[in-house]
Structure 1
Amino acid sequence: MKHVPRKRFGQNFLQDQSIIHKIIECINPQRNQNIVEIGPGLAALTKPLIESLDKLTVVELDRDIIEFLKKNFTPEQLTIVEGDALKINFAEFGDVRVVGNLPYNISTPILFHLSQFVNVRNMVFMLQKEVVERICAKPNISDYGKLSIMLQYKFKCRYLLDVPPESFYPAPKVDSAIVSLTPRTDYDYSQVNEEKLNLVVSKAFNQRRKTISNSLKGLISAEQLQSLGVDASLRAENIAIDDFIKISELL
């Protein structure tokens, strides 16, 4: 099938077999696992995943690709969910791992959508390298920000692999990388009020060059910060995730 990549779907198709093999190693699919692949495209990952699994489910929006998948795989091998991943209720899949080469233009909304489902046991995605660096960033570096905090408070995030542009057709203008996100088990993150945490983090990083006491003025006082053991003279990028959670608990 000669499929013309569609810009509106953010389509860039993997074609480097050595990279595909490395990505499958990163995913490490096990025979009895329930895995959903978002955006299978021309089956670069789909085919080796099917070879390792009893059955695979894919989520795809492009009707031409759906027809391609139906012609190349049997219903016993592949369940095709036609639709937008942002509108899919992933709770319906039970305990599930979610993988894929996400369209870069909607990758962050998809990550936050998936983060709401407690049945998602692990995610392994190819994203724009810059986004992966921000997801995995630690305090005290410029990449550390809202994306880092709002995902890391729930997930253990691991930067796994770089993927160069020439691995795709058409070659994107940016580098890519593989990231793994696994729900944290070291504490009960369900007790964190996500709405309050999001408010604090958004306000802090909207003015990231200011001190935390200035950027949170009107929300939290310098005295309250000090009572938590947070240095009010630090900037947002210097504040640990645990401290942002403590601040949010005062609201």
Structure 2
Amino acid sequence: MSSRPTAHRPRKRFGQNFLTDDSVIGRIASAIAPTVTDHIVEIGPGQGALTETLAPSGCQLDVIELDRDLIAGLLASFSIHPRFTLHSADALKFDFASLARGDAQLRVVGNLPYNISTPLIFKLLENATIIRDMHFMLQLEVVQRLAAKPGSKNWGRLGIMTQYQCEVEHLFDVPPEAFDPPPKVQSAIVRLTPWTQNPWPQCDQARLRQVVQACFAQRRKTLRNNLKGLIDSGALEQLGIDPGARAETLELIKFIDITNAINV
């Protein structure tokens, strides 16, 4: 028997599109593969479609829901599970570090509203040391940016900063008809796994963000123009970088090289 709360009218201001396709829900649950030893944090459980597959594992499950009209239904459905805790809060303002216990890392999951997905991912990356992995339903375009490679139109700040801290896996796509109401865009599931041993050279992440942001400030302009005031053409050439190139042609290692050269 389904334990999902009764019907709730999706709210546009919360970016709500509730996942209703059982086969898709099953595929997501299989990708997460929750166990009793896990500490899972679900962002935006909505009507509990995914929560319903996570709670029976016996995992410690904290869910964060902004829409207060959904709280009673979620509590009615899942309070029976002794390790279930509901937080009525805005995920963008939530202190994820407050959930960490000892060496146990968090596993974060969620069907993220499209309007907050990028800032929320950046917020979670700030907490990467306490996170084991993240599984998100996102707009396909966002997943393509997260998993992008140098030379593609999707290569930019989001992919670079995420790949510096995580392995990114585009797992599978989800069609609009899997939701109620159906969104006007394609969706996809992505897995982000923070590196246990970072394969990239160490650098100042705040400065790396500054460099990447400057490089992509005007995509059609050259590195020489976008980095004016941060590093000169001669220094770029010493790093093996063409000052006349555009940022989208650079591999991640080159952004790190620029960052470390500026910090010297």
TM-score range normalised by the length of the shorter chain: over 0.9
1:133 maps to 144
Task: Note the alpha carbon deviations across 1:192-223, whole angstroms, 9 max, x for none.
Answer: 21221111111111122222222212221111
How many angstroms apart in 1 are the aligned matches of 2:60 and 2:206? 37
Contact kept? 2:165, 2:198, Cα under 8 Å: no
1:100 corresponds in structure 2 to 110
Pick the aligned partner of 1:29 from 34, 45, 57.
Answer: 34
Percent identity for Structure 1 against Structure 2: 50
Structure 1 segment 185-224 matched on structure 2, within 5 A: 185-187=196-198, 191-224=202-235
Equivalent residue letter for 2:89: G
Task: Give secondary structure in 1 for the equivalent of 2:116.
Answer: helix
Q: Which moved more, 1:206-215 or 1:129-138?
A: 206-215
Of residues 122, 128, 144, the one that matches 1:112 is 122
1:65-87 CA deviation, whole Å, 9 max, x = no partner?
11101111225152101101111
What SS does the aligned partner of 1:57 have? strand
1:44 aligns with 49
Inter-CA distance 234–122: structure 2 relative to 1 (3 Å threshold): same
Counterpart AA for 1:93: L
Deviations 1:28-47 (A, max 9, x none): 21221110100001111000
Which residue is 2:68 aligned to?
Answer: 63
How far residue 154 of structure 1 moved from its aligned partner, in angstroms, is 0.7
Q: Deviations over 1:47-71 (max 9, x none)?
A: 0111223331101111111110111
Mapped to 1, the partners of 2:112 and 2:198 lie a distance apart of 29
Q: Report SS of the residue matched to 1:250.
A: helix
Match of 2:254 in 1: 243
What residue number does 2:3 align with?
A: none
Deviations 1:68-120 (A, max 9, x none): 01111225152101101111111122220100101111011110111111201
1:225 partner amino acid? L
Structure 2: gaps of 5 or more residues: 1-5
Report the TM-score, using the length of structure 2 for normalisation: 0.91
Where 2:216 maps in the other structure, the secondary structure is helix
Q: Structure 2 residue aligned with 1:89, among 78, 88, 95?
A: 95
Tell me which amino acid in the other structure corresponds to 2:192: L
- 1:90/1:111 CA distance change after superposition, 3 Å: same
Summarize deviations over 1:167-197 as a string: whole Å, max 9, x none. Answer: 0000001110011111123437694212211
CA distance in 2, matches of 1:169, 1:115: 29
* More displaced stretch, 196-205 vs 166-175: 196-205
Equivalent residue, structure 1, for 2:189: 178
Q: So what's the TM-score if we normalise by structure 1?
A: 0.95
Matched, 1:79 2:85: yes
Aligned length: 251
Secondary structure at the counterpart of residue 149 of structure 2: coil
Residue number in structure 2 paired with 1:3: 8
Distance 1:34 1:185 in 2: 18
